[in-house]
Amino acid sequence: MLSLPRLPVPPPRLTGHDVDTGAGAGRGSRARAVLRRREQLHTLSDLRPKSQTRPLFLPAGVDRASRDGPVGPKPGCRAGRRPVTGSGVGRGEECVPGGDAALCWTGEILVPELAYVNGVITPLEEARVSVEDRGFQFADGIYEVAKIFDGKLIDLDRHLARLENSARMLELPLPMPLPELGRTCRDLHARSGIEDGVFYLQVTRGACPRVHAAPPGLEPTLVMTTRRLSRPLPEKITAITVPNNRWKMCACKAIALLPTVLAKHAAVKAGVNEAIFVGDDGLVLEGASDNVFCVKDGVLHTPPADGRILEGITRGRVLELAEERGIEVRVAPLPLDEFRAADEVFLTSSVLTVVPVVALDGRPVGDGRPGPVSTVLREAYWDFMRRFRDVTDSPNPSGSSSPA
């Protein structure tokens, strides 16, 4: 992993809502603008659906002081010292000393991480949902994760189409029509100003007193967040295989992710980066949070989207890119022994993009280095992201509406 260079000029020192007026006071105008920006987040125009009468996350009569407790430096932010760098802080971004954990120095501006909850936008750390929400109590919800690259939401329309399909599978109503949901996503992204990060979208069936069968007429809970990438993306990883203990609706991107969490824990315990699920029939399925590919004798192999895996958005793009480049593709069941004997293995996801696996179950894959096909497809996907233009019916952060 590359070490991060320290910024040549430290950011303005912020303590609570006070701007430093000492030796660095010349930078106060920028700091005051940032604080004004943060205050404006509480007074933005209401974006909630007309049927929604109030947000779920702030009970009436509860003030910030009693809710949040004493104000002070957040973890990773040391008041009155130089910006924090190193583990957990990436891409030239540094935490603001004594400031909000949700505000981060990028060398140009302080960028807030934002949350949207049922029409109300706040700094990420201040967002709240009801403890009675069915997503919290039953994992009764669905989600999507889209990549923010170079100020663009990559393949948002495909993510929303998959969200709609997941909602249909669970008979879960969406909070608004898909075009309006897309505009709301793009609006939050534009307000955040984040250039490289992750956009998270979650819909649950809503909040009500705890009962297994949801009563009719619940208002769905819509939560969206924008976050920066916390560290550079890896250029290669290692993995293990684990038994598949997930439910049978893997084509639905549901928030019930306990088997995935346990698989990730197993990977960490084994000292590797990822876990790959293998069915009882010995067929390789997918990674805990990604799709799997392998290459043997120049042929690209990947398991079919037959309901046992999630049909990944990046997976689909990589298959298109492989076809464009004349790479032979075989979408078919993938036995574990063939997978282990592959010349190359790589994984795809919205966040990781395309990442080669150089060791599997403690043995090197091929010669233990990223192979030529995975390297070509990784470069092709990054080139696709650079050229990507979001097609919308309203302005978008990239400033263009022409197709890729």
Each residue's pLDDT tens digit, 105-153: 333 345 679 999 999 999 999 999 999 999 999 999 999 999 999 999 9
Q: Which of 26-30, 256-260, 365-369 has the lowest mean pLDDT?
A: 26-30
Statement: residue 403 has pLDDT above 70: no
> What is the rounded average pLDDT of the residues 26-45?
43
Q: What is the pLDDT of residues 261-313, one digit of tens each?
A: 999 999 999 999 999 999 999 999 999 999 999 999 999 999 999 999 999 99
For residue 358, give both structure tokens: 């150089």
Q: What pLDDT, on a 0 to 100 scale, did the predictor assign at position 232?
A: 86
| CA–CA distance, 307 with 294 (Å, rounded to integer) | 20
Q: What pLDDT, on a 0 to 100 scale, did the predictor assign at position 165?
A: 98
> What is the rounded average pLDDT of the residues 204-209?
98
Q: What pLDDT, on a 0 to 100 scale, did the predictor assign at position 190?
A: 95
Statement: residue 82 has pLDDT above 80: no
* Pick from 137, 200, 208, 206: nearest CA to 173: 206
In sequence order, the β-bridge partners of residue 364 are: 359
* CB distance 184 to 203 below 8 Å: no
Statement: residue 239 has pLDDT above 50: yes
| CA–CA distance, 226 with 246 (Å, rounded to integer) | 28
Q: Tell me which H or E stretch contains 228.
A: strand 221-228
> What's the whole-number average pLDDT of the chain?
78
Cα torsion 163, 164, 166, 171 to 10°: value is 140
| CA–CA distance, 352 with 232 (Å, rounded to integer) | 10
Annotate 232-296 with DSSP letters as a single string: PPPS-EEEEEEE----S-TTS-BS--HHHHHHHHHHHHHT-SEEEEE-TTSEEEEETTBEEEEEE
**390 pLDDT band (50/70/90 cuts)?**
confident
Q: Which of 69-73, 141-145, 192-196, 283-287 has the lowest mean pLDDT?
A: 69-73
Q: What pLDDT, on a 0 to 100 scale, did the predictor assign at position 392?
A: 53
Statement: residue 94 has pLDDT above 90: no
Q: What pLDDT, on a 0 to 100 scale, did the predictor assign at position 124?
A: 93
Q: What pLDDT, on a 0 to 100 scale, did the predictor assign at position 56?
A: 28
Complete domains list, the chain, with CATH: 14-108 (no CATH), 134-228 (3.30.470.10), 237-387 (3.20.10.10)
Q: What is the pLDDT of residues 334-374, one digit of tens each?
A: 999 999 999 999 999 999 999 999 999 999 999 999 999 99
| CA–CA distance, 170 with 314 (Å, rounded to integer) | 23
Statement: residue 57 has pLDDT above 50: no
Q: What pLDDT, on a 0 to 100 scale, did the predictor assign at position 1?
A: 34
Q: What pLDDT, on a 0 to 100 scale, did the predictor assign at position 391?
A: 64
Cα torsion 270, 275, 279, 281 to 10°: value is -60
Tell me the whole-structure pTM to 2 decimals. 0.73
| CA–CA distance, 275 with 259 (Å, rounded to integer) | 11
Determine whether 87 is exposed, middle or buried from the number of CB atoms within 10 Å of its CB (0-12, 13-18, 19+): exposed
Q: What pLDDT, on a 0 to 100 scale, did the predictor assign at position 110?
A: 52
**231 pLDDT band (50/70/90 cuts)?**
confident
* Catalytically active residues, by annotation: 253
Statement: residue 73 has pLDDT above 50: no
Residue 262: other Cβ atoms inside 10 A: 15
**16's torsion region: left (phi>0), alpha (psi -120 to 50) or beta?**
left
- Percentage of the chain beyond pLDDT 70 is 69
Statement: residue 166 has pLDDT above 50: yes
> What is the rounded average pLDDT of the residues 145-166?
97
Q: For helices 313-324 and 372-387, what crossing angle results, to 10°?
A: 110
DSSP count for the chain of H helices, then E strands: 9, 21
